Amino acid sequence: MANQIDEVRAGARPVHPVDEVLSPGKLVALGIQHVLVMYAGAVAVPLIIGTALKLPSEHIALLITADLFICGVASIIQSLGVTRWFGIRMPVMMGMTFASVTPMIAIATTPGMGLQDIFGAIIAAGLLALLVVPFACRLMSLFPPVVTGSVITIIGISLMQVGIQWAVGGAWLKPMIADPSPLAKMGQMVPNPAYASMQNLGMALFVLVVILLISKYGRSFLKNISVLAGLVLGSAAAAALGMMHFDQVAKADMFRLVLPFQFGMPRFAVGPIATLFVAQLVVFVESAGMFFALGNIVGRKVGRIELARGLRVDALGTVLAGIFNTFPTTSFSQNIGLVGMTGVRSRWVTVTGGVIMLLLGLVPKLGTLVAAIPQPVLGGTGIAMFGMVAATGIRILSEVDYKSNRNNLLIVALGIGFGLIPLVAPQFFIHFPEVLAPMLHSGILLTAVVTFVLNAFFNGFGRLDAQGLRDAEHAAEDTSALR
C-alpha cells in the first residue's frame, strides 16, 4: 500500500485492482476457490455426453481430463491475454457450454455418425465463430442498459436454478442405472430418494451459514476466501457423515497426458457444423452479457475492443477443444458471482485457477478428489454467489429511465418474462423444430433477443449507434492509456 501511495505522489498511474498481483499464497487459495466453484459444471458436459452415448468408463475419463486441461488453457488465455487479439484480461474462468449438449447428442446418435463427427463440427464451428467476431462486436452499441441489465438479471436467475438443485442433492428424477429390467434400459426415470432430504438441506444451510459468519466476522483475507472455507468445512462435515466417498479417487491414475485426436481424426459434415455454429452464436450472446456484468463488478469498461478479445477466446477454446477431444467452451458465469461476492478483482487469481485446472487435467487423481465434493456442499455456496449475479443486473436496471420513457418498463418485463420460459416450462417449445432447440431452450438468449427487438421498436437505432460509438471511443482511449 505504501509503495502504491508513493507511486501516486510521484505521478505514476496507480495499478487497477484487476491488474493487481497478489502474494503467491493468496493467489493459490483464491485460485482453488474459483476452481471448486466451477468444477461440477465443468465436468458435467463430458459426463452427460459420455453417458448418453454409452461410452465405456475409460473413454469418459479421457473426455473429463481433456475437458479440465482445455478449461485451464482457455482460462489462462482469457485472463492473462495473448497478443492484442485474444483475452479480455479480466478475472474469467472458462468451462464447457451446455448450449451444445443436445445438438451434440443428436449428431452422435445419427446413423453413420459418432464422436469424430462431433469433434470435426466443433473445430469448424469454432473457426467460423472466429471469423464473425468483428461483426458480432459491432452490434454492441445496440445493447443499452435496459438490454444488458435484463440479460444479466436472467443469467443470475438461471444460475439460481443450478444452485438450488445442488442444495437439494440433484434432480428430482434419475435414471434406473442399476436396474437391469427392460424399462430401465429404455431410460425409465425414477424419483431420487435423497432429493431435498433433511441431510442435504442441512448440509447446504451449514455451508451457507459458515460463509455468512466468515463474511461478517472474518479478517480481510479470510473474508475473501469465505466460499473456499465453506467448501472445505462442508466437505469435512460431509465426509464425517458418510456423504463423501473416495473409492474413485483410489482408482484414478496419478498422471496422464492429454493428447490430440485420441478418438481418431475428425470428420467434417455440413449439417453438424451448421448446428454447432448456431450454438456458438448462442454462446457469444451469453458471454457478452457475462462480460458486461463482470466489467460492471470490477470497474473496468467493456468496449468493442475488449468484447472482441473475450469472444475470440470463446471461439479459440472451442477449436482447441475439438482438437483435444472435448466440447465447446464458454466463459463461466458462476465465477462472476464469486468475484462480486468476495470483492477480489485481480485477473491473476483466475490465471492461477487456470493453471490449477490444467494440472487437474494432467493428474486425474486430483480431479477425482474435487469431483467427490457432494452437491449439497456446492449448493450452499451457489445460492449466495448466483444471487450476486442477479443483483448486479438489478443494479444496472436501476439506472434505466422509467419516468420519461415508460416503454422501458415493458421491455424489462417482457424480456425477463420470456427468459423464464425455459426455467418454468421446459417443454414450452416442444413442437418447434429441433434445430431451434439451442436458441429456444436458452433463457439468456430469449431475454437478449426480446429486449433487443423491443428496444429497437420503442427507442430506435440512431441514438444507440451514436452512444455506442462514444463508448467504443472511450474504450479505445482507456486501452491506449493502459498501454
Instruction: Judge residue 297's burial from the number of C-beta atoms within 10 Å of its C-beta, 0-12 exposed, 13-18 middle, 19 or more buried.
Output: buried
3-state helix, strand, coil in the chain (%, to 5): 70, 5, 25
Is 102 a domain residue? yes
- Is 4's pLDDT higher than 60? no
Q: How high is the pLDDT of residue 317? A: 95
Cell triple for residue 246? 473416495
Beta-bridge partner residues of 190: 174
Q: Which residue carries 444460475 as its cell?
A: 159
SS3 331: strand
Q: How high is the pLDDT of residue 191? A: 81
Cα(108)–Cα(101) distance, rounded to whole angstroms?
11
Q: Which residue carries 457423515 as its cell?
A: 241
Is 376 a domain residue? yes
> Considering the entire predicted model, what is its pTM?
0.70
Q: Is 445 left (phi over 0), alpha (psi -120 to 50) or beta?
A: alpha
**Mean pLDDT score of the chain:** 82
Residue 205 corresponds to which amino acid? L
- Residue 454's pLDDT band, with cuts at 50, 70 and 90, is very high
- Residue 366's pLDDT band, with cuts at 50, 70 and 90, is confident
Q: Is 300 left (phi over 0), alpha (psi -120 to 50) or beta?
A: beta
Highest mean pLDDT among 160-164, 199-203, 217-221: 199-203
- Residue 462's pLDDT band, with cuts at 50, 70 and 90, is very low
Is 9 a domain residue? no
Is 55 a domain residue? yes
Mean pLDDT of 316-327: 94
Is 394 a domain residue? yes
Q: What is the pLDDT of residues 94-135, one digit of tens each?
A: 988 876 776 787 787 777 788 899 999 999 999 999 999 988
Number of domains in the chain: 1
Q: How high is the pLDDT of residue 57? A: 67
Mean pLDDT of 319-334: 89
Q: Which residue carries 452415448 as its cell?
A: 53
Is 4 a domain residue? no
Q: How high is the pLDDT of residue 9? A: 46
Mean pLDDT of 272-292: 82
Q: How far apart are the first and last CA of the chain?
A: 23
- Residue 467's pLDDT band, with cuts at 50, 70 and 90, is very low
- Is 85's pLDDT higher than 80? yes
Q: Which residue carries 428430482 as its cell?
A: 172
Element (H, E) at 394: helix 375-397
- Is 477's pLDDT higher than 50? no
Cell triple for residue 78? 482469457
Find the domain containing 28 and state its range: 15-482
Is 1 a domain residue? no
Instruction: Judge residue 303's burial from the number of C-beta atoms within 10 Å of its C-beta, 0-12 exposed, 13-18 middle, 19 or more buried.
Output: buried
Mean pLDDT of 2-11: 47
Q: How high is the pLDDT of residue 238? A: 93
- Percentage of the residues of the chain whose pLDDT score is greater than 90: 31
Q: How high is the pLDDT of residue 202? A: 95
Q: How high is the pLDDT of residue 188? A: 64
Q: How high is the pLDDT of residue 471? A: 43
Q: What does each C-alpha distance from 352 to 33, 35, 78, 168, 415 come to in angstroms?
A: 11, 10, 12, 31, 37
Is 10 a domain residue? no
- Between these two residues, 374 and 179, which has the higher pLDDT value? 374
Q: Which residue carries 423444430 as its cell?
A: 433
Q: Is 299 left (phi over 0), alpha (psi -120 to 50) or beta?
A: left
